[in-house]
Structure 1
Amino acid sequence: MVDLAASPFNLGPDAIEWVHTTIASMTLEEKIGQLFINLNTRFDPAYLDSVIDGFHVGGIRYMGSDSATVQQHIRYAQSRSKIPLLVASNPEMGGFGSADDGTLVSTHLQAGSHPDASIAREMGRIAGVETAAMGCNWAFAPIVDIHYNWRNTVISTRAFGNEPGVVIERAKEYFDGLSESKTVAAMKHFPGDGVDERDQHVVTSYNTLSLERWEESYGRVYRELIAHGIQSIMVGHIGAPELSRAFRPGIADADIRPATLAPELLNDLLRGELGFNGLILTDASMMVGMTQAMRRRDLVPAAIAAGCDMFLFFREPSEDFQYMLDGYRTGVITEQRLQDALERILGLKATLDLHVTPTAELVPPVEALSIIGSDAHHAVAAAVADKTVTLVKDTQNNLPLDPKTHRRIRLYGVSGEADFTGTDPNGYLAIAAEELEAAGFEVHVFKNAKQRAAEGEAGVYFHTVMAEEANGDYPNRYDAAVVFANVAGFAQEASVRIRWSTPMAAEIPWYVTEVPTVFVSVNQPNHLIDVPMVKTMVHAHNPSREAIHAAVQKIVGLSPFQGTFNDNVWCDTFGTRL
């Protein structure tokens, strides 16, 4: 039974009465609809009408856009919904990611890379302020995974660190900052990512720790955050064989499911042993970590039957809605299980006072958007960057680089292709060039064969580029080389590593033996596995203007490095420390 008077709902008698009365007044179709969180893929009113009228969804999340468009979209959605909507966002780095013009304060790893725990609080505070200004009320954050496996790149920048204590401290700070706004949090991804190196977007991954080891690490994190008042938990499509065996002795390997479909993990462990009373939601249901487990028509109701209260995203709305309805009618979802899920869904809405807020006031006025991407918030981002840009190594004492003695810089950019977000992965390089020039350098930007051919140059081939770049007068042309790497991306491959532009590419740091070379990562912390030859490695954490500016200031010696790092940077590989 759901105790709505207890943490994390803490509802009074009137709110509890609203929950029960509202559920009793709903049709079966409306009850089934509340179980779904729709991913709104369009912004036009006709689309929203079809979603809200046709499927009665309990929550929404939207695709990225500017904050004004998002706010208008949410305002219309709330005006059309019979029961106020939970409106989710992904503010993992502040306001950025929830709106194109939001402030990128820091990554989770960045917030764990300095002794000042208030960095995480500021990240959460700005995340709450900026998303609430648009009308969001539910943050799919903080991320409480532990980055044990350096090869895991889906959470390498999205985890506060590789120690439970750091994760607990910074997650609490983020939550406290977020909670200054009228926003609830969903920590993720239970039972814990960071052990397997693979990405559950494309394959089921596994947390293979023993029950004892899990309790000391992830279990400790979840217990402390639950006690701290976290309102909801997102469950990953991550199996936990040893945990499943502990609660289901003799379970066959073939029957070990991702946590979203594993009642022993949701009911026996999360609800029972950990005592979580709040709302449980699945991670995105289109992820192959879930879809490979069973037929769609079976897994949709199975997730709710297993203990999840909300189902994140339709794959095909009419099909998934019917699958859930069929699951109830055939008894896969019992009456009590449906009632419990609905009580938690409406209970979370009541926690936000959505039930007593006039519809016209569920979304702030347009004027509230002025805080998004404000100068004050960017000043916070700049202060965070100054504290967290990290010198991983400088074994040849190449730093500082002085524009007077190393004026001519060869600038290389290393990045992947544009990912599913469509964001230009090369935008950081222009910022890097501008910042280096502002510091007094003469910058010569390298272009690979593909880039030169795209600009119309004839007869260019990777061998010709290599011949031009790698010859004896390189030190006569350039005084130093600086490489900026923005190798990002997840959800499309099982892991992320540097992929050079061509075989034996001219941008690979062969030139470390010719001129002082500085490698700056503005994303992944594990690049030394692919560039162990570089003797000077800087981690700037993210590709924002503030982070790149801070990195350049420190490279030229105008500002000291203050960031810290953990042993994952060495990639457990010989040669990376040299």
Structure 2
Amino acid sequence: MGVSGCGKTTVGGLVARELGVPFLDGDSLHPVENVAKMAAGHPLTDEDRWPWLAIVGRELAAAGDSGMVLACSALRRTYRDAIREQAPDTIFLHLNGSKEVLAQRVGGRAGHFMPPALLDSQLATLEPLQEDERGVVVDIAAPVPEVVAAALKGIAAVAHSAEGAAGTRPRQFDVDLAAAPFNLDDDAVAWVEGTIGAMTLEEKIGQLFINHNNDYSPEYLDGVLENYHVGGMRYRPGPSAAVQEHIRYAQSKSRIPLLVASNPEMGGAGSCDDGTFVSTHLQAGSHPDKNIARQMGQVAGVETAALGCNWAFAPIVDIHYNWRNTVISTRSFGNTPEVVVERAKEYFDGISESPTACAMKHFPGDGMDERDQHVVTSYNTLPYEEWNRTYGHVYREMIAHGVQSIMAGHIGAPEVSRHFRPGLSDSEVLPATLSPELLQDLLRGELGFNGLVLTDASQMVGLTQAMKRKDLVPATIAAGCDMFLFFRNPAEDFQYMMDGYKSGLITEQRLHDALRRILGLKASLGLHRKSADELVPPAEALAVIGSAEHRAVAAGIADKTVTLVKDTAGNLPITPATHPRIRLYGISGGADFTRADPLAYLDVVKEELEAAGFQVHLFRTAEQREAAGEAGMNFMRVLSEEATGDYAEKYDAAFVFANVKGFAQEAAIRIKWSSPMAAEIPWYATEVPTVFVSLNQPNHLIDVPMVRTAIHAHAGTREAIRAAVEKIQGKSEFQGTFNENVFCGSFDTRL
């Protein structure tokens, strides 16, 4: 290895002759497009190099024990890693020389397609061998016979050292199906190996995919299963009966049992339309009773198992350090590793009472960056030592607790990556789904995770901005993921994965290790012992979904977790006797991709307030009034009518209920008012007692610091709304807790 002009061909040929092995010049393996590009004076990009490096590695691997010498520039650590991915026992001989010596040699070569002008580029790219790389460095300034002699001596020393250590060097990243979290017996291991042995190549490639089912028709499922042989699926939520029948049909058509995933982050809700919303993760971390998280997991397990699901994309083990981060603000148990570990274990234990495996997410950990990886790559910027103390602690604890799978996020970790790849440039930092150092060196190696790794949804821009689709699809598996979450275009993605295998990017070892983990997870759930008609419960099992018992659990949790963040003006309690006339305002983030009415919750709020005895006067925006048939409406007119001097004579108190949601459409979520200087902004907090109730996001005080009474009810469910109304009246005590994120780092939010 070395830059052009260092003598790779000359010295390599002589070393090969002395060792009695074949010699091959790696330049001869370049595709014609690469040769033409270099001849025109243009340096190669990494996109040009990866296929070439895979070929180089395969040539070395094909030599087997007999060995060979191959000349290849291999200037960067990542390039050498790509070669080692194919041929792990490669020894690198770096022919090192000064710029002056190299320039002289390049200039003296006629007919070579490497112009001298590209020497500076190569030297800038060169990353010397690192301590953990098997290799030899030889100075080329000496005469060629001395260079060859030094090379042979160094190679012999490295080879001898490797032979001495060979008996003690484990293949640390190969799956052990008999160990946790699979814990398979001999019969189950035999099923895994026998099933893999009987698969066609197309079936093997198909097992790597998890399909997102967008259609309930048999024709759709037939196409997915017959053409792409997927290993798992997640469906689009719908009525529980339709979802269950969909899963039943899919399992009946699959030769190998399917992993069927759901997203039960809040209980049974999110898995089907009529599932029980128990609590958010934040809600489950907002009371001293850790059993709340266990109850959430228990209901989630019972309801999703009734559907026929066997895999939960939960719990979420991100740590909410940055209050501006709204993608996990309600989806994290809290802002410390301790509370996250405690509640995640409880959730896991609860859901594990049902026949369900968990996929905790999102490795290497969200909550530092404020951005949402659905729309942009985000980063965990902690130094390695601090990451290890916080996020690393969470993952170690959960791995030891038995979690079966981990979802890798499209989240980069620059300093953690550089711990394993010193000198990694900013442009080389990739999201975890594409980072061997995070998935292999860290997750498999240091953290000792033996289970299955899957990607987060591959349509997220946090992944797709990293490289072309045809490259990233197989690159995720090559990097260390075992399953790929969701086709974008099934035919294209399937072919991209197949091409990645055929090009050598996905090695035979990596493919079979992934397959063992996939089938191992299925066997750990006992799927291999069941007939197709036993994989999904009968229709009667759906009676547990949204049951009165489960809704009672939700109501009890709501009562415990509705939280009084502040009441600095002493406004509470507010009752129909003391403040009968209520002006009610509703705030939402507007309609999102779910197409649900964003203000539908206000009907429930109004009903609950009126049932308590309040007279409710609902505020309507200019847009709402115009939609109702009023002419000449605009925000200035609404403001002039609303903000009048007799406001306190018309209303005794103002209640603002905010249910601001947003997901995968913006990098962060804040309140968006209906118009400039909107009439619903709490200007009236100086006129009458004003109570602000959030039914979702915990960070609204940054936008409404003027309110002196703020409540976090966590959810827009009837149970949560009813509990909040009761506590506003003083009928029950506030029991919920909160962390410092609610004040958003600003002094005025505390006033």
The TM-score range, normalised by the shorter chain, is over 0.9
- The answer to whether the aligner puts 1:188 opposite 2:379 as a matched pair is no
Residue 574 of structure 1: how far off its partner (Å) = 2.3
For 1:177 and 1:64, the matched residues in 2 are separated by 22
For 1:504 and 1:215, the matched residues in 2 are separated by 46
Q: Secondary structure at the match of 2:750?
A: coil
RCO higher in structure (CA 8 A, sep ≥6):
1
- The letter for the 1-side match of 2:308 is G
Residue 421 of structure 1: how far off its partner (Å) = 2.0
> Can you list the C-alpha shifts for 1:266-294, whole angstroms capped at 9, x where unaligned?
00000000000000000000000000000
Unaligned runs of 5+ in 2: 1-173
Which aligned segments of 4 or more residues in structure 1 are displaced greater than 4 angstroms?
A: none
* Structure 2 partner of 1:209: 382
For 1:289 and 1:369, the matched residues in 2 are separated by 37
- The answer to whether the aligner puts 1:34 opposite 2:207 as a matched pair is yes
* Structure 2 partner of 1:306: 479
> Can you list the C-alpha shifts for 1:369-422, whole angstroms capped at 9, x where unaligned?
000000000000000000000000000000000211200000000001121222
* Structure 1 partner of 2:244: 71
> Can you list the C-alpha shifts for 1:324-371, whole angstroms capped at 9, x where unaligned?
000000000000000000000000000111001111010000000000
* Structure 2 partner of 1:167: 340
* Structure 2 partner of 1:259: 432
Residue 302 of structure 1: how far off its partner (Å) = 0.2
- The letter for the 2-side match of 1:195 is M
For 2:354 and 2:578, the matched residues in 1 are separated by 50
Aligned ranges 1:449-460 → 2 under 5 Å: 449-460=622-633
Residue 439 of structure 1: how far off its partner (Å) = 1.0
- The answer to whether the aligner puts 1:102 opposite 2:275 as a matched pair is yes
- The answer to whether the aligner puts 1:125 opposite 2:286 as a matched pair is no
Moved more, 449-458 or 295-304: 449-458
Point out the structure with max Rg over C-alpha: 2
For 2:264 and 2:593, the matched residues in 1 are separated by 18
For 1:264 and 1:2, the matched residues in 2 are separated by 17
Residue 99 of structure 1: how far off its partner (Å) = 0.8
Residue 153 of structure 1: how far off its partner (Å) = 0.1
* Structure 2 partner of 1:500: 673
- The letter for the 2-side match of 1:414 is I
- The answer to whether the aligner puts 1:240 opposite 2:416 as a matched pair is no
1:91 to 244, 264, 280: 264
* Structure 2 partner of 1:435: 608
- The letter for the 2-side match of 1:154 is V
- The letter for the 1-side match of 2:242 is T
Q: Secondary structure at the match of 2:533?
A: helix
* Structure 1 partner of 2:517: 344
* Structure 1 partner of 2:564: 391
- The letter for the 1-side match of 2:547 is S
* Structure 1 partner of 2:176: 3
- The letter for the 2-side match of 1:49 is D
- The letter for the 1-side match of 2:433 is T
For 2:335 and 2:533, the matched residues in 1 are separated by 44
2:704 to 531, 538, 541: 531
* Structure 2 partner of 1:368: 541
* Structure 2 partner of 1:463: 636
For 1:574 and 1:178, the matched residues in 2 are separated by 41
* Structure 1 partner of 2:742: 569
For 1:539 and 1:501, the matched residues in 2 are separated by 22
- The letter for the 2-side match of 1:147 is H
Q: Secondary structure at the match of 2:749?
A: coil
For 1:337 and 1:179, the matched residues in 2 are separated by 29
* Structure 2 partner of 1:25: 198
For 2:268 and 2:625, the matched residues in 1 are separated by 36
1:486 to 652, 659, 682: 659
> Can you list the C-alpha shifts for 1:26-50, whole angstroms capped at 9, x where unaligned?
0000000000000000000000000
For 1:237 and 1:337, the matched residues in 2 are separated by 21
Aligned ranges 1:148-159 → 2 under 5 Å: 148-159=321-332
For 1:430 and 1:398, the matched residues in 2 are separated by 24
For 2:289 and 2:589, the matched residues in 1 are separated by 32
* Structure 2 partner of 1:278: 451
For 1:453 and 1:124, the matched residues in 2 are separated by 45
Residue 252 of structure 1: how far off its partner (Å) = 1.4
For 2:653 and 2:342, the matched residues in 1 are separated by 40
- The letter for the 1-side match of 2:191 is W
> Can you list the C-alpha shifts for 1:222-250, whole angstroms capped at 9, x where unaligned?
00000000000000000000001000011
Q: Secondary structure at the match of 1:367?
A: helix
The CA RMSD measured in Å over matched residues stands at 0.5
* Structure 1 partner of 2:467: 294
For 2:692 and 2:425, the matched residues in 1 are separated by 48
Residue 426 of structure 1: how far off its partner (Å) = 1.1
- The letter for the 1-side match of 2:368 is V
* Structure 2 partner of 1:54: 227
For 2:311 and 2:323, the matched residues in 1 are separated by 30
> Can you list the C-alpha shifts for 1:483-511, whole angstroms capped at 9, x where unaligned?
00000111000000000000000000000
For 1:251 and 1:502, the matched residues in 2 are separated by 47
For 1:423 and 1:19, the matched residues in 2 are separated by 44
Residue 428 of structure 1: how far off its partner (Å) = 1.1
- The letter for the 1-side match of 2:284 is A
* Structure 2 partner of 1:112: 285
- The letter for the 1-side match of 2:700 is H
For 1:82 and 1:419, the matched residues in 2 are separated by 38
For 1:305 and 1:480, the matched residues in 2 are separated by 61
Unaligned runs of 5+ in 1: none
* Structure 2 partner of 1:14: 187
- The answer to whether the aligner puts 1:421 opposite 2:567 as a matched pair is no
- The letter for the 2-side match of 1:430 is D
For 1:456 and 1:275, the matched residues in 2 are separated by 64
- The letter for the 1-side match of 2:396 is R
For 1:252 and 1:498, the matched residues in 2 are separated by 37
- The letter for the 2-side match of 1:58 is G
